[in-house]
């Protein structure tokens, strides 16, 4: 009887904290690991180290889509909805943007954004799959939280030469 009671209490506690955890990570923010070298100078600077960077993803900004040029965002992949990618926003709706390796200039349609990795050498980004709908954006990366020597905020960087607003 005693063990049953303890088990019941434990499962009730686990359920409560699981529920609170899911809500907080959906509405306010969560921690995610960055894999791969596509954002290389910003995240995972040395490919030799085994430790991945862990980042804090702010989701409160999605409430009114307060995103601006240079923000690093997490979004789910266009080809596989279970995959998440981390890239930097280069262009927002209405901007004209020059596609890399190509002389074309493209206007970003309403409700979309243009994302690119910081490491142009190894990055699958909007240059290959085109603009990303803002509805797929799942959060904005604000801080690096692990490893301890790299804790700090992620700064906004805008490559000025790529976009023109008219």
Partner 1 sequence: MFGQWRSVAKEAVDRALIMAEFCCFLHVIPNYLCSSTIVHGPSMLPTLNLTGDVVIAEHVSHRLGKISRGDLVLVCSPQNPRKIVTKRVVGMEGDTVSFFLDPNFGDRYRTAVVPKGHVWIQGDNVYASNDSRYFGPVPYGLIQGKVFFRMFFAIDVQRQKMKLDSQFQFLFPSEGSQTISFGDDFG
Size of site (CB under 8 A) for partner 1: 24
d(CA 156, CA 41) in angstroms, rounded, equals 13
Comparison of 76 and 142: residue with beta carbon closer to partner 1: 76
* Token digits of residue 24: 């907080």
d(CA 115, CA 164) in angstroms, rounded, equals 15
d(CA 29, CA 140) in angstroms, rounded, equals 9
d(CA 26, CA 18) in angstroms, rounded, equals 12
**Catalytic-role residue among 30, 40, 59, 87:** 87
Of 22, 24, 49, nearest to 35 by C-alpha is: 49
d(CA 159, CA 69) in angstroms, rounded, equals 9
| Residue 82 among the catalytic residues | no
User: Which position among 5, 47, 79, 149 is part of the footprint of partner 1 (CB under 8 A)?
Assistant: 79
23 lines the binding site for partner 1 (CB under 8 A): yes
User: Which position among 7, 10, 14, 20 is part of the footprint of partner 1 (CB under 8 A)?
Assistant: 20
Residues within window 48-77 making contact with partner 1, judged by CB under 8 A: 64-65, 76-77
CB of 19 to partner 1, least distance (A): 4
| Residue 38 among the catalytic residues | yes
Comparison of 57 and 137: residue with beta carbon closer to partner 1: 137
Of 109, 105, 69, nearest to 87 by C-alpha is: 69
80 lines the binding site for partner 1 (CB under 8 A): yes
User: Which position among 9, 14, 27, 45 is part of the footprint of partner 1 (CB under 8 A)?
Assistant: 27
Q: Please confirm whether the linkage preceding 146 is cis (ω < 30° from 0).
A: no
Interface contacts to partner 1, rule CB under 8 A: 16, 19-20, 22-23, 26-27, 64-65, 76-81, 109-112, 133-137
């Amino acid at each position: 009887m005693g063990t049953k009671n303890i088990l019941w209490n434990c499962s009730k506690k686990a359920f409560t904290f699981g529920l609170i955890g899911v809500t907080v990570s959906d509405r306010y923010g969560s921690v995610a690991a960055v894999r791969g070298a596509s954002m290389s100078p910003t995240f995972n600077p040395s490919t030799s180290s085994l430790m991945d960077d862990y980042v804090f993803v702010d989701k409160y900004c999605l409430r009114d889509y307060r995103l601006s040029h240079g923000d690093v965002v997490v979004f789910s992949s266009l080809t596989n909805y279970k995959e998440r990618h981390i890239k930097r926003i280069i262009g927002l709706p209405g901007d004209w943007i020059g596609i890399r390796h190509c002389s074309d200039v493209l206007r970003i349609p309403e409700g979309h954004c243009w994302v690119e990795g910081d490491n142009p050498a190894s990055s699958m980004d909007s240059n290959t799959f085109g603009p990303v709908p803002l509805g797929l954006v799942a959060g904005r990366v604000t801080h690096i939280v692990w490893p301890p020597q790299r804790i700090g905020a992620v700064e906004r960087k805008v490559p000025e030469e790529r976009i023109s607003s008219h």
